[in-house]
Amino acid sequence: MASFQAPKGTFDVLPEQEAARAAVLAYTERVVGLAGYGRIETPMFEDTALFARGVGEATDIVRKEMFTFEDGGGRSITLRPEGTAPVCRAYLEHGMHRLAQPVKLWYAGSFFRYERPQEGRYRQFNQIGAEAIGSGSPLLDAEVVILLDGILRGLGIDRLKLKLSSLGSTAARMAYRDELREYLRAHESDLSEEVRARIDLNPMRAFDSDHERTRGVMAGAPTLLERLEGEDAEHFAEVRALLDAAGVAYELDPTLVRGLDYYNRTLFEFDCDRLGAQSGVGGGGRYDGLIEMLGGPATPAIGWAAGIERILLAMEAPQPQGSVEAFIVSAEQRERAFALVLELRAAGIGADLDLAGRSFKGQMKQADRSGARAAVILEADGTAKLRDMGSGEQREVDPARIVDEIRAAS
Ligand code: ATP
Ligand code: MG
């Protein structure tokens, strides 16, 4: 037992786990890159006020999940719990509202939430995300949904469900919230204490409750989707038609609520039933009011975020890819083996050799364990053999042409 362990809710990523992560990032970059998204990196921490304002004081994230502390200068700092508010801050700070709109950005990195740790739920976790800022077109809603759908499916995640809803305009949502509050008050005695306590603050979260009688009440509650009208209804109909045309299947879920306060109109979430309790793989929505709330000009925008750890859990046993292609086995000629390893690496071929003083037999075993496709056996008499580790086939090769031989074999 080690004296120190990673803090509760955090984890180490070990070398054999990195390949799958790198594959998720590379695939994401390719898919969003084809649609014109450029990568952005923002700091791991921000002024607390950015999240209080940008995520919403009434949200669980701000009320109980933030890692907030005072820095040496007495400023209140928060480890970023999500990426949208920081990206919007950066958009304004760097005058991106003066660029051609929309500005399309994607990100990947660590996020921090003080939550009860369990499988798929950590205190430091990683997300990929995309934000398209500066257009209210329903084409953009469809684009971002299709991108996340393509990434998740392209990574081999099946048993996915896309839940889709619309929150309408802020005004419609406010009117609806009043209606919902009244409905909740009329059924107050059947509601869980938590939901009752939040009737004023955040009545929509009542749809999220797992309290049985509350769920019963909510089954009969009015939904925002039923109240959509005018341009909000048209916008949603267009988004749906575009998704239908693209062959992206979805389920309408009028009870969809997400943990961030700034959403309006389109809202979506991908669930994977491979994941058990933490079934949400990723989601997002439109946040046309956020940039203005952060002090910028009125700017429509939409985005999503997906959890990398949940993606990995949902992917079917990703194959770790060994990056060592050739393992050099030699009886006595360590310097010659080392020189060959360096030559191979310089030629862009992953190569390694025994560094633990193993016997010839031990080195062959190590070659196998390394995942290398080929072993080069340097004999004491100066000759060399190339062994295909898959088939076990072995043949003599010209010692001066080993790099070419390995390249030809791959
Ligand atoms: P949940 O309902 O599971 O708490 P959320 O609505 O809080 O998710 P978002 O804020 O939308 O999640 O974050 C987007 C994605 O990030 C989630 O779908 C999930 O894959 C991932 N995620 C969120 N919180 C965590 C966490 N604590 N640990 C690991 N992944 C997380
Ligand atoms: Mg959450």
If DSSP states are collapsed to H, E and C, what string results for 229-298?
A: CHHHHHHHHHHHHHHHHCCCCCEECCCCCCCCCCCEEEEEEEEECCCCCCCEEEEEEECCCHHHHCCCCC
CATH 3.30.930.10 maps onto the chain at 15-168+224-315
Distance, in Å, from the CA atom of 142 to the CA atom of 150, rounded to the nearest integer, reads: 12
Low-confidence stretches of the chain (pLDDT beneath 50): 319-320
Kindly give the pairing relationship between strand 264-272 and strand 160-166. antiparallel
Q: Residue 357: helix, strand or coil by DSSP?
A: coil
For the chain, give every residue range classified as CATH 3.40.50.800. Answer: 326-409
> Measured in Å, how far apart are the chain's first and last C-alpha atoms?
43
Cβ atoms < 10 Å from Cβ of 147 = 21
User: What pLDDT does residue 210 have?
Assistant: 87
How far apart are alpha carbons 240 and 300 in whole angstroms? Answer: 19
Q: How far is the CA of 326 from the centre of ligand 2 (A)?
A: 44
User: What is the model's pLDDT at position 205?
Assistant: 83
Instruction: Answer for the pair 127, 111: CB distance below 8 angstroms, yes or no.
Output: yes
Residue minimizing CA distance to atom 28 of ligand 1: 121
The CA 217 to ligand 1 mean position distance, Å, reads 26
pLDDT at 58 (0 to 100): 81
Ligand 1, atom nearest to 122 Cα: 28
Name the E strands within 331-404: 351-353, 374-378, 384-388, 394-397
Nearest residue (by CA) to ligand 1, atom 2, is: 280
d(CA 349, CA 334) in angstroms, rounded, equals: 19
Q: List the one residue out of 231, 229, 296, 285 whose CA is nearest residue 262.
A: 285
Q: How many CB atoms lie within 10 A of CB 383?
A: 12
- The closest alpha carbon to 127, from 42, 48, 58, 208, belongs to 42
Using the mean position of ligand 2's atoms as its centre, give its distance from the Cα of residue 64 in Å. Answer: 11
Output the residue whose Cα is nearest ligand 1's atom 11. Answer: 283
For 338-378, the pLDDT digits (tens) are 999 999 999 989 999 999 999 999 999 999 998 899 999 99
Ligand 1 atom 17, closest CA:
282
| Pocket-forming residues, ligand 1, beta carbon under 6 Å | 82, 113, 115, 120-122, 125, 127, 258-259, 278, 280-283, 305-307, 309-310
Question: Which pTM was predicted?
Answer: 0.82
Ligand 2 ion local residues (Cβ < 5 A): 259
- Please tell me the CATH code under which domain 326-409 is placed: 3.40.50.800
CATH class of the 15-168+224-315 domain in this structure: alpha beta
Contact of 341 with 354, CB cutoff 8 Å:
no
How far, in Å, is the centroid of ligand 1 from the Cα of 324?
Answer: 35
Ligand 1 atom nearest to 65, measured from its CA: 27
CB 327 within 8 A of CB 353: yes
